[in-house]
Structure 1
Amino acid sequence: MVDGHRDKPAWVNSCQRMKPVLKNHHPRTRIYWLAMPVDAGRAGHSPAGQAAKLRDWVIGRDKDSDDSVAAYQRLAHDIITAIPEQFAPQPVSADMIDWFWRHNAWRGVFNNPLPRRATTDQLDTAALPAAVFDDGDQHHRGGRLLPLHLIAAGLAAAAIAAGLLVGLPLAAPLAVLSAAALLAWTAGLRRIPSWSKTLRVSSPEGAYPDSYQAILPVVDMPKAGIVFPGSEFLQALDDLDTGATFDFAVNLVTVSREMEFVRNDRAKGNIDDQFTQRRDVRNGDAELIATWRQLAEYNRQLEANIDERPLHAAFVIAVGAPDQHTLDYSVKRLREELTQSGQIAIRHYRGAQTKLWAAFNPAAPAHKTTIDQFTQPTTTKKWSRFVPFTSSMVGNSTGILLGFNRNNALNSAVLLDLPAAARRNRNPCLVCSGALGYGKSYAAKRITRGEIQRGAQAFIVDPGTEWEKALADVDNKAVIDMAGNQFSCDPLRVFPADVAGGYWLDYMVPMMSLDARSVGVRRLRAILQADVAAALDITSTAALMKYISHIQAPSTGPDNRAPQVVRLADDLAPILAALQSWASHAFTRAIFDDTLPVPDLARLDVTIWLTGSLDLPTAKEMNTPHLYEQLSDRKRASVAIYGMLVRLARVTFFADPTRFGLIVLEEASALLNSRAGADDAHLISRQARKHYTGLLIITQNPIKDLALMGDEFITQQLIMPFENEDLARQVAAKVGIRLDDYPDIEEFFLAQPSPDEMRDPTAFDEVDSAAGPNRGARQGYGFFVDEFRRKSPIWVATEPDAAVHDAYDTTPGRAA
């Protein structure tokens, strides 16, 4: 969050204040640890490895010599460079290995983050904390008392009696059993061993609490196989939030084609033999035929390509928890989740937990971990299409904390960095949409404040006063009422001289209902050329009116005007009359009063333009010709003033490509449904990247409000719940979310009332205290589409500062 902005104290302090929020949500990201042997199996754990080990012994090769180590390094480099760059592999440091040991040993109780930067070059394994493995948790589950000394005495007495009554042949076995029981008692065996499926890992030094773990190999998959999508069943681990830690290991072993064919031929022979041996077993022939067909298909795939290699894949899942109850519940939920996600069966074995635990340690031999008993044979081609896990990443790696990913239970942080998007040659525009009261404006205010603290300029168009309250504590800002008398919005004064005349015509001609093709307007266009206007000293609308009045016929005395001036005056007379009429309105003083100051937008950090006093027409009035012709003067002036704001922001920010500028359009319906406003917003959406400018649009109906503007170049959207289901479905389809992927779309886009709002009142309700607003589980819950078009449900982060939070909240009745 602070990356690249450590020189901004306000932003650094804001990030520090977010620590409680981060701690509360506990965001995590799954880390994948990739280990591949480079010694060609010289430890001798496979036939090929045994041959290599024998060859090295015969020729006297030292596998730890400098030449051998250099060969290992070259092979490791070849392997690393073969990994696609999208995975961004990082070399493991000594600190990471230390962390990995502690994470595996005390899974579920050791929650330190992975160290990013190395602090040492070497790892002393003797310095690693020792771990004691208690398979079955004998310490707490010792079982019943086993009175071996009494059993030994009883067996001895029985042996003596049998020797006296029957003879030595019967007494000898009893005597042996008595001696064995006595030896076991002498060795310290006092209880029946526990057969619990738990592996308890403790620290003799007391460095960490006891970790209760369950190691669960995958023992069965659908006979027809699993294809993507659907093969990412390991993602189910990230959907569980039980208080436990879930890890998985995938062990891949490539074997020789020839050895695999021999193995398959042997298996085929066994199947043929069982046709006679299992003929009387229920459904035996059907099972054998199905297995025979699978084996034949496996052989066919291996024979299809000479480069095809057989591959054995084994999946093991580890669950770690701080106590036995949490572990049992987590294993139960894991079984249910895997069954629902793909009919995957896992087994919890007794007495083998320590060996299976070793599978999570790199370089542990497969025959020592017993993981080779759970392999699933396949081919390298089919494995490449398996896709056992996918990324749920959304957002940016740096930027403002927008919220937390709700795609799974990891709650990974979702960051938004609009300036960085521009630097990546992507569109720095964002649309926040949704129904009233679900957090779209709240999120927009957090984003805007964050960008201001990171050094950006903000230009905010606010139809009310909520942004003035939200940013009340921000210095170096101006709050301008567009229908007031504080600042001027005369196009000839606020815009640069080289474009002021053209922009004046764009807004003032439609406002005054003048015909753009009339002779007077054409004459006016020539006068407002930058060089002509400068020569005539026309620097404001008032100066323009003064000039046109000056060239009119004198009220008294002779008319000494030149013929061309007379014709010009006659052509401009209707325009002068219109200007004089419009200047008489109080709501147009900001345009016609040249004594009002012009805001220095380049110097200000924040400019808030209040448009609530403007009487803006509806979208229907703007888009229906006869209704547009009937607009009142106030509405026409409002459209002109409103449209000038966005163009003013664009001109101001586009002129300074060194500082990021953010244009915020709150409740942008009126602006985006005007032709000039929509054109300017569309131009910003296309060219903002080049000029280091961002656009943030807040709307309740993105389908209707963005239609005239065109949103094909805007990728980033924050979609909050909608009250209207049809609108919710249209928005989902618009951003490319298929209903096949989200059949329960109302879970993501449709607002849901809280149970308290829906239930019948009872006599037990505290009526006076029950009036607090509650939008149910949907409040703060949205769907985010990032600049790369990745989509995910998120939970919008809230401000930890109560004063700032209340300033953002627009709910009536809450303290500001």
Structure 2
Amino acid sequence: MLQPITAVGGNLRWTRSGTVWADFILTGIEYGYRPAEDKSTARSMHKMLMRALDGEALLLGICASLNPEAVVARMEEGIDLDAHPQWAAECDATIETLEMFQPGKRIYWLSIPLANKGWKNQAAAAWSAARTTLTDYLGLPRTSLDPVEVARRTTQANMIAADIPAYFRPTPATPAQMVWLHQHSLQRGLGLDSDVPLPYASIGTKPMAAFTAARFDEGAQSDRPSSGWKSKAPTLTKALKIDQPWTLEERPANYQCLLALADTPSGNTVFPGSEFLALADAIAGVDVDWGIRLHIRSSAEVSKKNKRALINLNEQFSQREGEVSHGHGVLHAAAEDLAEYAAKMDADNMEVEVQSTTIFAIGAHTEEVALRDARQLAKLFELSSYKLVSPLGFQEDLWHALNPGVSTPSIVKEFAQITTSTDFSAYVPCVHNDLGDSSGPLLALNISSARIGVVHHDVAKKSAADISGSFAAVGALGSGKSVLLKGIGGAFHDRGGKIVVIDHTEVGEYARWAATIAEAVIADLSHPKWSLDPLRIFGPDKGAEVATSVLLPLLQLQPDELLGVLLGTVLEPAYRGEHGLLDGGLGDILDHLRSDECTLVQRIELADKLGVYARKSYAAALFEKGLPALDITAQAIVFRTHTVKLPSQQEIVQEHLFRQLGLEKRVGRAMYALIGLIARGICFANPSEPAMFLADECHRMTRAEEGVDIVIDFLREGRKEQAYIGLGSQDPDEGLGNETLRGLIPTRFAMRQTDATLARRSLAFVGLDPRDPDMFKELTEQTSPVSGKDPDTGAEYVEPHRRGEGYMRDAYGNIGRIKVLMPSEPNRAHATQTTPDKGPEELIDA
């Protein structure tokens, strides 16, 4: 078969038949784990898409490999790699990671033959086809495209694009993308595709030589023996062999198997439940392209056709009158089907008839693999009551049917399914499960289907879109929460951000990690080497505000009672300046209250209250005068709180229990409030310097009202100041404060849960139905499943390839399954995944 395309310009292609086709790339609508109302919207958009078309069209769903270098380019976008060498190293190492997983995506392509209305246009199209045939026969050069014709056809194409629902964001295909599609069709399954050209990468035209010539071998006849009886026996191979004899470099032959949808489940269309095209993404490691040849007819055309059919039925009834046979039953059934179909068409004046033929294409290096994968696909469809067939001798015809610019082969009509736009829309062919941002750090793989995608997560980029970059992760112990938090925090730091972390672990997990990625300042409250005194950390005014906020609840004072007023007085910058205390801290304030220089009423009583705590070792970081002030200019700061005692939820809620709190728990609560205030002060200090506060097992902070308020400040106001918070918790209800706090978290993660109650809470947290038994089972049994015990440690063991699985609800409301990736750079990966070999003392000295 000759190359049907004779010229391309913009998103238009001229063909030998005289027909001009317009090509568009559509964006799929978010679907997957979306709620029912969003899925109904997706269906409505598909119904509107069908009604926007008239006559023939070709809709394609093409598997495109993601070029690792293109993914890395998105990771590098907007970052000066010379200024951030650690990020450059991570990006370089990521290429090898991506080559191991081979992620991909599905591209939706809509190609429409433009109508030739009026006898003049029809004659011009016929003359164009005849002229092309004659010039090729005589070996004459083809004439260039007529600018007037190009302008007229471009206007037609633009009018079609304007009618397509905006949800699909129709983008005119470029000549470079057309060439890419042609080349992809010649080498399906060989892994030789380049990255899909960008929409702006090529405009204008392409020479016809860019569309590589190919040789089609129906049944792979050239692979048969050249002699013997097998060379003469007929072949029953349902495969198409394609090679490219004109290329200088040797390319392997491609074996493809084309299948057509021959039957669908009986009965009415069910929605959700009829999305059969999703099965094309259900076989791991197998790329399945699909195409739908469409023919759309208006209700008026269908009404005329139905009237003719009704007349024929009446004639058959008359001819069989008085006949005793089952033929009347057949006629009655046909009449009922016709009446039902007519009723559907008459019920909506905008309804159209959709005649569709669905074709699937699988390619491989060998005939055996192609046929094996085709049988696997057919079996998968059979389990859902769909029937796929592979017509012997028509593989090449079906292949051409999947290419824009080709007139519909006759075999296509043999498999046509006729329905309405309402019923066809239940198939929702153009959908996706994309997650995350268009660029930024590579956080995870998208495993919502067997077709693996990538998830970019750019915390700072969201601020430009007026969305908070803060996030929260919930999951059981060992489910991967800390790896997730450290992965996001590490990428944020390597791209120029500052991080502040609370490390509650006995082994100093976060301290070890932070010390590996930066020159971290580690403030250990059990062995303080840095002072957390706010008067010494912040300026006079800010320091006084923070100190007041911490000391009033610690001393159980009200701000308007005498001692509360006295405390506020001695902390005021004016008073401290008057008494030479501006360069001092709380220890100096305590000494001043005890000295005769202070003449304030009840100073001794206030000093005694402060002295109760100042003498305790667990409060040394707050009152010890000999410690250097915490360096808040450091790019990484870690607060080690593993020895801090905190009140329980009951002790906070029950007033009598709260009054009986021991000193250590009172100090612990005050220290967590102080750390939160210090973190807020650091992160909100400079809007031009992005900063992130990480708090794993965040119930330690959100158990108290002051902690909840600090977290809400980050969520509500952080976007404007480029200040972000990352939270981790085993229980979303307990750890993430209240409904207001949870509602303000835009990006959410749910990792493995085995407890039934916590699993349902986690599902609800990411926007999934906690009552759905399939979702519940998937989270508790099929998400990073435990396969036994580690023989060395005795801890629960998860196979390496299943670690990091969970759910993500991104900042845009999309929900899907992910597999969190470790950093690709070896040193970063080691620090992220392991607990330290050093003891706490060695960490402090590091």
Would you say same fold, with TM above 0.5? yes
- Counterpart of 1:548? 593
Structure-1 separation of matches of 2:548 and 2:174: 66
Structure-2 separation of matches of 1:59 and 1:18: 51
- Between 1:263-272 and 1:455-464, the stretch displaced more is 263-272
| 1:106 counterpart letter in structure 2 | Q
Structure-1 separation of matches of 2:762 and 2:91: 33
- Counterpart of 1:179? none
- Residue of 787, 791, 797 corresponding to 1:774: 797
Q: What is the CA deviation profile of residues 204-263 of structure 1, one whole-angstrom value per residue up to 9, with x for unaligned ones?
A: 35642122212112222234443542232111111212x432111122222365543343
- Between 1:697-706 and 1:58-67, the stretch displaced more is 58-67
1:33, CA displacement in angstroms? 1.5
Say yes or no: does 1:115 pair with 2:197. Answer: yes
Residues 53-452 of structure 1: matches in 2 within 5 Å? Answer: 53-54=122-123, 65-109=146-190, 110-116=192-198, 118=201, 121-141=204-224, 191-205=232-246, 207-241=250-284, 243-255=285-297, 257-272=299-314, 285-304=328-347, 306-341=349-384, 343-366=385-408, 368=409, 370-380=411-421, 383=424, 386-452=427-493
Structure-2 separation of matches of 1:408 and 1:802: 29
- Residue of 607, 610, 616 corresponding to 1:576: 607
Structure-2 separation of matches of 1:137 and 1:83: 41
Structure-1 separation of matches of 2:407 and 2:838: 64
Contact 2:767 2:809 in 1 (8 A): no
In 2 relative to 1, CA 281–453 (structure 1 residues): closer, same or farther, beyond 3 Å? Answer: farther
- Counterpart of 2:731? 701
- Counterpart of 2:106? 30
In 2 relative to 1, CA 799–61 (structure 1 residues): closer, same or farther, beyond 3 Å? Answer: closer
Contact 2:521 2:631 in 1 (8 A): no
Contact 2:766 2:808 in 1 (8 A): no
Q: What is the CA deviation profile of residues 74-118 of structure 1, one whole-angstrom value per residue up to 9, with x for unaligned ones?
A: 111222233344433333233222221111122111333223363
- Counterpart of 1:657? 687
**SS of residue matched to 1:231:** coil
In 2 relative to 1, CA 772–57 (structure 1 residues): closer, same or farther, beyond 3 Å? Answer: closer
| 1:77 counterpart letter in structure 2 | N
Residues 577-592 of structure 1: matches in 2 within 5 Å? Answer: 577-592=608-623
1:388, CA displacement in angstroms? 2.4
1:381, CA displacement in angstroms? 5.3
In 2 relative to 1, CA 787–209 (structure 1 residues): closer, same or farther, beyond 3 Å? Answer: same
Structure 2 unaligned blocks of 5 or more? 1-74, 133-144
Structure-2 separation of matches of 1:213 and 1:716: 42
| 1:484 counterpart letter in structure 2 | H
1:349, CA displacement in angstroms? 0.7
Structure-1 separation of matches of 2:125 and 2:245: 41
**SS of residue matched to 1:222:** coil
Contact 1:721 1:778 in 2 (8 A): no
Structure-2 separation of matches of 1:441 and 1:462: 11
- Counterpart of 2:821? 797
1:450, CA displacement in angstroms? 0.4
1:778, CA displacement in angstroms? 5.2
Contact 1:356 1:369 in 2 (8 A): no
Structure-2 separation of matches of 1:59 and 1:544: 95
In 2 relative to 1, CA 508–301 (structure 1 residues): closer, same or farther, beyond 3 Å? Answer: same
In 2 relative to 1, CA 768–724 (structure 1 residues): closer, same or farther, beyond 3 Å? Answer: closer
Structure-1 separation of matches of 2:128 and 2:676: 81
Q: What is the CA deviation profile of residues 663-702 of structure 1, one whole-angstrom value per residue up to 9, with x for unaligned ones?
A: 0012222222122222211222222112111111122222
Q: What is the CA deviation profile of residues 123-157 of structure 1, one whole-angstrom value per residue up to 9, with x for unaligned ones?
A: 2223443221111122235799569xxxxxxxxxx
In 2 relative to 1, CA 105–433 (structure 1 residues): closer, same or farther, beyond 3 Å? Answer: same
Contact 1:438 1:775 in 2 (8 A): no
| 1:417 counterpart letter in structure 2 | D
Contact 1:264 1:295 in 2 (8 A): yes
**SS of residue matched to 2:788:** helix
In 2 relative to 1, CA 768–265 (structure 1 residues): closer, same or farther, beyond 3 Å? Answer: closer
Structure-2 separation of matches of 1:656 and 1:421: 18
1:355, CA displacement in angstroms? 0.7
Structure-2 separation of matches of 1:280 and 1:738: 58
Structure-1 separation of matches of 2:147 and 2:455: 46
Structure 1 unaligned blocks of 5 or more? 43-47, 148-189, 554-564, 759-766
Structure-2 separation of matches of 1:280 and 1:533: 113
- Residue of 499, 510, 513 corresponding to 2:553: 510
What is the number of residues matched between the two proteins?
741
Structure-2 separation of matches of 1:217 and 1:29: 23
- Counterpart of 2:142? none
Structure-1 separation of matches of 2:813 and 2:435: 9
- Counterpart of 1:182? none
Structure-2 separation of matches of 1:58 and 1:606: 73
| 2:455 counterpart letter in structure 1 | V
1:363, CA displacement in angstroms? 1.6
Structure-1 separation of matches of 2:830 and 2:112: 54
In 2 relative to 1, CA 684–750 (structure 1 residues): closer, same or farther, beyond 3 Å? Answer: farther
| 1:360 counterpart letter in structure 2 | L
Q: What is the CA deviation profile of residues 557-586 of structure 1, one whole-angstrom value per residue up to 9, with x for unaligned ones?
A: xxxxxxxx5xx42x3331111122322222
- Residue of 543, 564, 567 corresponding to 1:524: 567
- Counterpart of 2:43? none
- Counterpart of 1:733? 764
| 2:449 counterpart letter in structure 1 | N
In 2 relative to 1, CA 684–97 (structure 1 residues): closer, same or farther, beyond 3 Å? Answer: same
Contact 1:722 1:751 in 2 (8 A): no
Residues 462-477 of structure 1: matches in 2 within 5 Å? Answer: 462-464=503-505, 465-477=508-520
- Between 1:571-580 and 1:641-650, the stretch displaced more is 571-580
**SS of residue matched to 1:404:** strand
**SS of residue matched to 1:255:** strand
In 2 relative to 1, CA 535–212 (structure 1 residues): closer, same or farther, beyond 3 Å? Answer: same
1:494, CA displacement in angstroms? 2.2
Contact 1:723 1:751 in 2 (8 A): no
The structure number with the bigger radius of gyration is 1
| 1:204 counterpart letter in structure 2 | P
In 2 relative to 1, CA 636–259 (structure 1 residues): closer, same or farther, beyond 3 Å? Answer: closer
| 2:399 counterpart letter in structure 1 | W
Structure-2 separation of matches of 1:59 and 1:94: 21
| 2:692 counterpart letter in structure 1 | L
Structure-2 separation of matches of 1:646 and 1:769: 38
In 2 relative to 1, CA 403–304 (structure 1 residues): closer, same or farther, beyond 3 Å? Answer: same
| 1:809 counterpart letter in structure 2 | Q
In 2 relative to 1, CA 127–737 (structure 1 residues): closer, same or farther, beyond 3 Å? Answer: closer
Q: What is the CA deviation profile of residues 175-194 of structure 1, one whole-angstrom value per residue up to 9, with x for unaligned ones?
A: xxxxxxxxxxxxxxx61331
The alignment-based identity, stated in percent, is 25
- Counterpart of 1:710? 741
Structure-1 separation of matches of 2:609 and 2:637: 31
TM-score normalised according to structure 1 size = 0.83
Structure-1 separation of matches of 2:365 and 2:444: 28
Please report the RMSD computed on the Cα atoms of aligned residues, expressed in angstroms. 3.4
In 2 relative to 1, CA 348–665 (structure 1 residues): closer, same or farther, beyond 3 Å? Answer: same
Structure-1 separation of matches of 2:90 and 2:103: 18
- Counterpart of 2:29? none
**SS of residue matched to 1:31:** strand
- Between 1:315-324 and 1:801-810, the stretch displaced more is 801-810
| 1:774 counterpart letter in structure 2 | Y
TM-score normalised according to structure 2 size = 0.80
